[in-house]
């Protein structure tokens, strides 16, 4: 392709990058240097790093995001693996995607109905003799629902990685006398690791910033970075502080992307 052609192809995408990625990020960074009185200042950052509240909140969010990502991964990997072995696997994969088409708010409201005092879960607990429990507004229910929401986004990349796997490797491993477990541990899992990493990227950062669920399911007992941003932007109107936390999130995002980035090109696995 000629150089000029490449440029015309790149133009719409490049425009998008400039207008909707670089400009908004720049605006957020710019905004983070202003205080409530619209004066240029570094005070938002010093507040953030000196306040026990914000630091604790950050630690909390990271911990919850870690748990959500962990559980999502633990559930999703076997699911993707088993689906990949099925006969009509494309069909089953679509069934995994289907629930994501039902709006997240609707699902949250369904869970409110299920977890409430007179809800399905408590009816079940009463039925087996435990008696009704407080389920809604607990950390456990928050993690459960968040995991539920994220599962499809983890299954997809792992499934794709399994799909890209060359069956010749597995056959070779079997021919060399490796057990199923050995094949999995030394061949399948390492080769699907990029999928897992992509899944972690797709789940971890959104989990750091969940805000609807912390309120609807967690009853604002879990405060994440996302809750704080939402509150600063929409309620307290402290856009400067909100942007500062946003910048922290962007930095966290870059760190996660570096940690989970593709190293395979150096590794040189044949494709």
131 near another protein (CB under 8 A): no
Scanning residues 220 to 249, which ones bind another protein (CB under 8 A)? 220-221, 223, 225-226, 228-231, 233-239, 242, 246, 249
264 binds another protein (CB under 8 A): no
**146 part of the interface to another protein, by CB under 8 A:** no
Does 257 engage in binding with another protein (CB under 8 A)?
Answer: yes
SS (H, E, C) the chain: CCHHHHHHHHHHHHHHHHHHHHHHHHHHHHHCCECCCCCECCHHHHHHHHCHHHHHHHHHHHHHHHHHHHHHHHHHHHHHHHHHHCCCHHHHHHHHHHHHHCCHHHHHHHHHHHHCCCCHHHHHHHHCCCCCCCCCCCHHHHHHHHHHHHHHHHHHHHHHHHHHCCHHHHHHHHHCCCCHHHHHHHHHHHHHHHHHHHHHHHHHHHHHCCCHHHHHCCCCCCCCHHHHHHHHHHHCCCHHHHHHHHHHHHHHHHHHHHHHCCCHHHHCCCC
Segment interacting with another protein (CB under 8 A) among 62-70, 82-90, 168-176, 184-192 = 82-90
Site membership for another protein, residue 34 (CB under 8 A) = no
Give the nearest distance from C-beta 42 to another protein in angstroms: 17
79 versus 173: smaller Cβ distance to another protein: 79
Contact between 140 and another protein per CB under 8 A: no
Residue 46 lies near another protein (rule: CB under 8 A):
no
Contacts of another protein in 156-185 (CB under 8 A):
160, 164
190 binds another protein (CB under 8 A): no
Q: In the complex, what is the shortest distance from the CB of residue 64 to another protein, in angstroms, rounded to a whole number?
A: 13
134 contacts another protein (rule: CB under 8 A)? yes
Would you count residue 58 as binding another protein (CB under 8 A)?
A: no
Among 43, 67, 107, 165, binds another protein (CB under 8 A): 107
d(CA 75, CA 70): 9
Which of 135, 118, 108, 121 has its CA nearest to residue 214? Answer: 108
Q: Among 95, 176, 251, 259, which residue interacts with another protein (rule: CB under 8 A)?
A: 95
Is 78 or 190 the residue whose CB approaches another protein more closely? 78
- Taking CB under 8 A as the rule, does residue 59 contact another protein? no
């Amino acid at each position: 392709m000629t150089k000029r052609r490449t440029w015309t192809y790149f133009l719409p995408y490049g425009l998008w990058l400039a207008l909707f990625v670089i400009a908004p990020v720049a605006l957020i960074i710019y905004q983070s240097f202003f205080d409530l009185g619209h004066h240029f200042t570094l005070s938002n950052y010093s507040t953030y790093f000196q306040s026990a509240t914000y630091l604790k909140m950050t630690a909390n969010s990271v911990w919850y995001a870690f748990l959500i990502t962990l559980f999502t991964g633990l559930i999703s990997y076997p699911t993707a693996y088993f689906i990949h072995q099925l006969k009509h696997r494309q069909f089953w994969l679509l069934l995994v995607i289907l629930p994501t088409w039902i709006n997240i708010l609707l699902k949250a409201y369904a869970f409110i109905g299920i977890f409430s005092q007179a809800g399905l879960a408590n009816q079940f607990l009463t039925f087996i003799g435990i008696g009704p429990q407080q389920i809604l507004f607990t950390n456990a229910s928050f993690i459960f629902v968040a995991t539920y929401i994220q599962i499809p986004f983890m299954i997809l990349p792992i499934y794709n990685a399994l799909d890209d796997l060359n069956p010749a490797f597995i056959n070779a491993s079997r021919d060399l006398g490796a057990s199923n477990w050995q094949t999995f541990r030394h061949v399948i899992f390492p080769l699907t690791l990029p999928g897992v990493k992509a899944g972690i990227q797709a789940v971890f950062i959104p989990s750091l910033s969940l805000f609807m669920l912390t309120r609807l399911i967690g009853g604002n007992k879990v405060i994440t970075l996302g809750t704080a941003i939402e509150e600063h932007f929409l309620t307290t109107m402290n856009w400067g502080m909100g942007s500062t936390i946003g910048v922290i999130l962007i930095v966290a995002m870059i760190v996660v992307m570096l940690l989970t980035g593709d190293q395979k090109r150096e590794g040189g696995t044949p494709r």
